[in-house]
């Protein structure tokens, strides 16, 4: 029971950081009609993540097709 009191006291008296509520700013950014898809409205970081994801997807697809082609060929006898 003493441990529970110590943990409750630690949690309840811990200083909490005050974060600024930026929901309204983000709503303005993402609802703005600027012709960009929503997954690219975050700026350069979103564009980099999108291009990286598309590159990895393309590489994975090509590698999967290559593996299927290699496995479909009969082995040469030695």
- Specify the higher pLDDT residue, 7 or 68: 68
Q: Is the dihedral of CA 52, 58, 61, 66 positive or negative?
A: negative
For residue 77, pLDDT over 90 is answered with no
Side-chain-side CA neighbours of 6 within 13 Å: the count stands at: 3
pLDDT of 6 reads: 58
Q: For residue 62, with 0-12 CB atoms within 10 Å meaning exposed, 13-18 middle and 19 or more buried, which class applies? A: exposed
The predicted model scores a pTM of 0.61
Helix then strand then coil, in percent of the chain rounded to 5, is 70, 0, 30
Domain boundaries, the chain: 38-77
pLDDT tens by residue, 24-58: 998 898 898 988 898 889 889 999 999 999 999 99
């Amino acid at each position: 029971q003493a441990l529970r009191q110590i943990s409750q006291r630690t949690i309840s008296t811990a200083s909490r950081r005050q974060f600024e509520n930026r929901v309204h700013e983000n709503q303005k950014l993402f609802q703005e009609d600027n012709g960009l898809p929503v997954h690219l409205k975050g700026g350069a970081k979103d564009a980099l993540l999108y291009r990286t994801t598309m590159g990895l997807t393309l590489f994975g697809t090509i590698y999967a097709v290559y593996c299927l082609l290699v496995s479909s060929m009969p082995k040469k006898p030695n």
